[in-house]
């Protein structure tokens, strides 16, 4: 892992310093919440993880929230940002605004993710803010979001000062120029225009990519509407929020939720999930499949003799050996400290044994250089294939583990199969 990348623990610390709550939901249950969200509702993080999200929603708001959740997973056009109430652990209601989206990975797994803003304090202040026009103008000039206005031809006629924080341009630099000039591609601008046309002159929560003055990309979330005067359209007004940090966070959260932090392969939970999908396909089409359970021999001695840093390098080196030995359709996961598993679809016992022997031999002849030390290590492998129509991943891993035990008992650095 590159030193410049945030570690999982550092990234969690970063999320815990956000002003808003942050969450990830899979299959209707929380798989991640930051401390801000837990504190907002009076729970610990541990009390919320793996719990269905619905019971945390105030009962009178549940129908709407559930409807939006399922519709969003189906790709329907529902609000990404809206308000409702959550139930505090002590029974009181918490007014919140949620900003939520759905990420679908290459394997079709859907993750709902977003932020939750506590509105209790802001709602108490809204009436005070509305009393003075001068205060409203001050908010416009100092708000982090960008307020903009164009004429009917898309030329910028008003831009809030916050544009410089988002795009690097002063408001004066942008006035008189087509707003289209600042979009990354014509299609980004067209998405906003299409939303305005589709929704009777109002565009809500449209994401688009803009170009920063320094050449970098910025993601914004915009709400806009067509201004009407005398019965005809005279331009467009809108508010754009910089969501670049959120977009980067979404990528990292998905990565941390699915991959082992050290080796960058599937973690145990995701390996199980993906393997179960492949087994279901194998049963449906009467295909074969195999699982390899692998354990590095005497790995504790490496940590004891060379230190845990060297042990980490050995683990990453072994993963590379496995990937170089596998087919593209095979996948690997880290199931324990120095334990790994490979799932090999459409593979019979002979092919699975050949793969296991290849990994075992490539590991045996390999030498890794760490801090001037030339280190060798070996691996023991247990192999199991689908034997019955009701075999599950638990069955395969259990059988492969039994074969792995036989390989260990036979002196390590070898392969055994479960029959």
Category of 235 on φ-ψ map: left (φ > 0), alpha (ψ -120 to 50) or beta? left
Look up residue 59 and give its DSSP letter: G
The band of 18, judged by pLDDT with boundaries at 50, 70 and 90, is confident
Please tell me the predicted confidence (pLDDT) of residue 134.
66
Please tell me the predicted confidence (pLDDT) of residue 144.
83
pLDDT, mean of residues 304-311: 92
Among 343, 334, 353, residue whose Cα is nearest residue 290: 343
Q: Is the pLDDT of residue 252 over 50?
A: yes
Radius of gyration of the chain (CA): 27
Q: Is the pLDDT of residue 126 over 90?
A: no
pLDDT, mean of residues 148-156: 94
Report the 10 Å Cβ neighbour count for 123.
Answer: 11
Residue 367 exposed, middle or buried by CB count within 10 Å (0-12, 13-18, 19+): exposed
Q: Distance between CA atoms of 260 and 402, rounded to whole angstroms? A: 25
Q: Distance between CA atoms of 287 and 354, rounded to whole angstroms? A: 19
The band of 1, judged by pLDDT with boundaries at 50, 70 and 90, is very low
Please tell me the predicted confidence (pLDDT) of residue 248.
85
Residue 388, SS3 per DSSP? coil
CA dihedral 169, 173, 178, 184 (to 10 degrees): -20
Please tell me the predicted confidence (pLDDT) of residue 138.
72
Please tell me the predicted confidence (pLDDT) of residue 9.
66
Q: Distance between CA atoms of 293 and 341, rounded to whole angstroms? A: 5
Structure tokens at 8: 């999982």
Q: Any idea which of 56-60, 134-138, 263-267 has the lowest mean pLDDT?
A: 134-138
Please tell me the predicted confidence (pLDDT) of residue 400.
97
Q: Any idea which of 32-46, 113-127, 370-384 has the lowest mean pLDDT?
A: 113-127
Please tell me the predicted confidence (pLDDT) of residue 135.
64
Strands (E) in 57-181, as ranges, are 81-87, 93-104, 110-118, 146-151, 156-159
Backbone CA torsion sign across 146, 148, 153, 155: negative
Q: What is the pLDDT of residues 169-194, one digit of tens each?
A: 999 999 999 999 999 999 888 889 99
Please tell me the predicted confidence (pLDDT) of residue 8.
59
The answer to whether the CB of 347 falls within 8 A of the CB of 290 is yes
Please tell me the predicted confidence (pLDDT) of residue 4.
45
Structure tokens at 100: 């939520």
Length of the chain: 419
Category of 298 on φ-ψ map: left (φ > 0), alpha (ψ -120 to 50) or beta? left
Please tell me the predicted confidence (pLDDT) of residue 136.
60
Q: Is the pLDDT of residue 405 over 80?
A: yes
Q: What is the pLDDT of residues 199-230, one digit of tens each?
A: 889 999 999 999 999 999 999 999 999 999 88
Please tell me the predicted confidence (pLDDT) of residue 373.
82
CATH architecture of 133-246: 2-Layer Sandwich (3.30)
Q: Distance between CA atoms of 150 and 226, rounded to whole angstroms? A: 10
Please tell me the predicted confidence (pLDDT) of residue 356.
97
Please tell me the predicted confidence (pLDDT) of residue 55.
96
- Please name the residue that has the structure tokens 């942050």: 22
Q: What is the pLDDT of residues 335-382, one digit of tens each?
A: 999 999 999 999 999 999 999 999 999 999 999 988 888 899 999 999
Q: Any idea which of 232-236, 252-256, 331-335, 360-364 has the lowest mean pLDDT?
A: 252-256
Q: Distance between CA atoms of 197 and 201, rounded to whole angstroms? A: 6
Share of the chain above pLDDT 70, in %: 93
Superfamily the domain 8-125 falls into: PAS domain (3.30.450.20)
Q: Distance between CA atoms of 260 and 405, rounded to whole angstroms? A: 25
Domains 8-125 and 133-246 share a fold: yes
Task: Name residues whose C-beta falls within 8 Å of residue 90's C-beta, 6 or more positions apart in sequence.
Answer: 42
The band of 2, judged by pLDDT with boundaries at 50, 70 and 90, is very low
Please tell me the predicted confidence (pLDDT) of residue 11.
66
Q: Is the pLDDT of residue 38 over 80?
A: yes
Q: Distance between CA atoms of 3 and 383, rounded to whole angstroms? A: 36
Biggest distance spanned by C-alpha atoms of the chain: 89
Structure tokens at 287: 């295909």
Q: Where are the domains of the chain?
A: 8-125, 133-246, 259-417
Question: Given this structure, which CATH class describes domain 259-417?
Answer: alpha beta
Please tell me the predicted confidence (pLDDT) of residue 256.
80
């Amino acid at each position: 892992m590159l030193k410049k990348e945030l570690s999982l623990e550092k990234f969690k610390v970063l999320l815990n310093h956000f002003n808003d709550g942050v969450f990830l939901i899979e299959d209707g249950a929380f798989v991640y919440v930051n401390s801000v969200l837990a504190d907002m509702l009076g729970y610990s993080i541990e009390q919320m993880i793996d719990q269905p999200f619905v019971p945390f929603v105030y009962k009178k708001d549940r129908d709407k929230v559930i409807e939006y959740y399922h519709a969003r997973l189906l790709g329907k056009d529902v609000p990404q940002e809206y308000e409702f109430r959550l139930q505090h652990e002590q029974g009181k209601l918490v007014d919140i605004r949620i900003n939520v989206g759905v990420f679908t990975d290459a394997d079709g797994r859907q993750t709902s993710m977003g932020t939750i803003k506590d509105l209790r304090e802001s709602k108490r202040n809204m009436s005070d803010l509305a009393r003075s026009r001068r205060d409203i103008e001050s908010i416009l000039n100092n708000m982090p979001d960008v307020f903009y206005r164009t004429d009917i031809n898309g030329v910028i006629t008003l831009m809030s000062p916050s544009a410089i924080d988002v795009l690097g341009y002063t408001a004066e630099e942008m006035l008189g120029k087509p707003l289209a000039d600042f979009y990354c591609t014509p299609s980004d601008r067209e998405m906003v225009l299409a939303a305005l046309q589709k929704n009777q002159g109002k565009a809500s929560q449209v994401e688009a990519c803009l170009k920063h003055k320094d050449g970098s990309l910025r993601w914004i979330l915009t709400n806009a509407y067509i201004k009407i005067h005398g019965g005809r359209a005279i331009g467009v007004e809108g508010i754009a929020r910089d969501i670049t940090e959120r977009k980067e966070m979404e990528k990292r959260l998905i990565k941390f939720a699915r991959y082992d932090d050290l080796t960058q392969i599937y973690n145990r939970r995701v390996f199980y999930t993906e393997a179960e999908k492949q087994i279901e396909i194998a049963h449906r089409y009467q295909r074969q499949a195999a699982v390899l359970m692998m354990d590095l021999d005497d790995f504790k001695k490496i940590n004891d003799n060379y230190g845990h840093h060297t042990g980490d390098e050995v683990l990453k080196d072994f993963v590379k050996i496995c990937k170089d030995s596998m087919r593209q359709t095979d996948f690997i996961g880290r199931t324990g400290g120095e334990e790994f598993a490979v799932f090999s679809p459409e593979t019979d016992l002979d092919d699975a044994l050949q793969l296991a022997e290849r990994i075992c031999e490539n590991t045996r002849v390999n030498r890794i250089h760490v801090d001037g030390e030339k280190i060798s290590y070996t691996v023991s492998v247990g192999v199991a294939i689908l034997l019955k129509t009701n075999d599950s991943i638990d069955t395969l891993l259990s059988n492969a583990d039994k074969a792995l035990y036989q390989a260990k008992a036979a002196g390590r650095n070898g392969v055994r199969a479960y029959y």
